[in-house]
Amino acid sequence: MSGTLNFTLKVWRQNGTKDSGYFEEYEAKDISEHMSFLEMMDIVNEKLEAENKEPIVFEHDCREGICGSCGFMINGQPHGHKSRTTTCQLHMREFKYMDGGTIVLEPFSAKPFKVLKDLMIDRSAFDRVIQSGGYVSIRTGSAPDAHSIAVEKDSADKAFDAATCIGCGACVASCPNASAMLFTGAKVTHLGLIPQGQTERYSRVQEMVNQMDSEDFGHCSNFGECTLACPKGISLDVISQMNKDLLVSQFKG
């Protein structure tokens, strides 16, 4: 049987990167437990617009846990408390235990993630990391004959697992040092373990790590919060693989 829930939303409001920002409270009443979190936000915004007030700005696109744009902090956790779930795929039934309580919403916090407005941040630092080396130069326009390129299953599995990274930034937001090692490691590992990615394998890791450092992300100190916050469950193994490739690259000239 469907039920309705009531919450107070304590939301971070910030009018651009130079604004100091502040918290503001809103009521979310008669929310169906079957709604997604973003649908609940839509209802709150519709009420604000009806009252000629400025709606809460948050980013979203696919609403299917694919694009990675929707993330923000919910009660101090990236994407909320439910593991392996993006904000858009989080449902209000997960908050039944908080019925009548307060949910705190904040943008992902990290020096490279500038707040554009309210809960919306600039993730272009991730784009620049990918652009620095996340590509292959060989021709991949047609499918090869079956079994013409031997790929070990273990390498293929690890590459596919790393490729599930959606670049949402939860790993950075959860890290006490705001490190982007899990994100960069996933991108390096994805291409570094498949035959098509071998041409740039060692130049890639150098360029992407250098770009990551230049974006002013913090350093990894093995807390492991990143993999717990990752909605795709990217393993810390990708960081080990990246560090291994980076070490080998020093001897590749």
Domains: count for the chain: 2
Q: How many angstroms separate the first and last alpha carbons of the chain?
A: 66
- 30 domain residue, yes or no: yes
Q: Please check whether residues 56 and 148 belong to one and the same domain.
A: no
Amino acid code (one letter) for 76: G
Long-range CB contact pairs, 89-92, < 8 A, 24+ = 89/36, 89/64, 89/65, 89/231, 90/36, 90/37, 91/33, 91/34, 91/35, 91/36, 91/37, 92/5, 92/31, 92/32, 92/33, 92/34, 92/35, 92/36, 92/37, 92/40
* 128 shares its domain with 244: yes
101 and 213 co-located in one domain: no
pLDDT at 140: 67
pLDDT at 114: 96
43 phi, psi to nearest 5 deg: -65, -45
Rounded to 10 degrees, what is the CA torsion of 194, 195, 199, 200? -10
Structural domain includes residue 113: no
Cα of 40 vs its chain's centroid, Å = 21
CATH value at residue 35:
3.10.20.30
Mean pLDDT of residues grouped by 10 in the chain (253 residues)?
88 94 97 97 98 97 94 97 97 96 97 97 97 86 70 92 97 97 97 92 96 96 95 97 95 78
For residue 170, the domain's CATH number is: 1.10.1060.10
73 and 163 assigned to the same domain: no
Domain containing 78: what range?
4-106
Please tell me whether residues 66 and 161 are part of one structural domain: no
Residue 119 lies in a domain: no
Residue 115 is assigned to a structural domain of this protein: no
pLDDT score of 148: 73
Assess if residue 116 is contained within a domain: no
Position 142 scores a pLDDT of: 74
